[in-house]
Amino acid sequence: MASPAPQSSAEKAVVANHRTVLQLFAGACLALAAGCRLTTPLAPQAGAPPSVAAVAARPNPANHEFYPLDPGSRWHYRASLLRRVHHPDGTIEVVTDDHFELATELTCSDTSGGHKWQVERRFESFANGTSATAWNMYRQDRDGLWGAAAGAIDPCAQGLPAGTVGDRQLAYPLRPGASWVVREGFFPIVATVEAQDVLDLPIGRVTAWRVRLDRPGIYEPGHDYSLAWYGRTGFLQSVTHLEDSVLVRGGLLGVLEAEMRQTLDDVQLASPGRFAPDGALAQRRTGATDPR
How many C-beta atoms lie closer than 10 Å to residue 266's C-beta?
20
pLDDT of residue 25: 36
Q: pLDDT tens digits for 71-105?
A: 999 999 999 999 988 888 888 888 888 999 999 99
Over the stretch 152-193, which tens digit does the pLDDT of each residue have?
888 887 766 666 778 999 999 999 999 999 988 788 899 999
pLDDT score recorded for residue 261: 94
pLDDT for 95 equals 86
Is 201 a member of any domain? Answer: yes
Beta bridge partners of 199: 206
Mean pLDDT in the chain?
A: 74
In a domain, 281, yes or no: no
Quick check: is 102 in a domain? yes
How many domains does the chain divide into? Answer: 1
CATH code, domain with 128: 2.40.360
Predicted pLDDT of residue 168:
94
- Note the pLDDT of residue 151: 85
Query: Within 10 A of 263 (CB to CB), how many other CB atoms are there?
Result: 18
Which amino acid appears at position 80 of this protein?
Answer: S
**pLDDT at position 271:** 77
Which residue range forms the structural domain that includes residue 227? 9-39+49-269
Instruction: Classify residue 220: in a domain, yes or no.
Output: yes
Distance of CA 127 to the CA centre of its chain: 20
State the pLDDT at residue 37: 31
Summarised one tens digit per residue, pLDDT across range 282-291 is: 333 334 433 3
Tell me the CA distances in angstroms from 279 to 80, 203, 251, one per residue in order.
28, 11, 54
Give the per-residue pLDDT at 181: 94
pLDDT of residue 220: 78
**Contacts for 19-28: CB closer than 8 Å, 24+ residues apart:** 19/218, 19/244, 21/242, 21/258, 22/242, 22/243, 22/244, 22/246, 22/256, 22/258, 23/244, 23/246, 25/83, 25/95, 25/256, 25/258, 26/85, 26/246, 26/253, 26/256, 28/95
Q: What is the mean pLDDT of each run of 10 residues along the chain (292 residues)?
A: 41 39 35 30 38 36 72 94 87 88 92 82 90 92 90 78 82 94 88 95 93 86 88 94 74 80 94 51 38 30
Look at residues 168, 283, 290 and name the one whose alpha carbon lies nearest to residue 230: 168
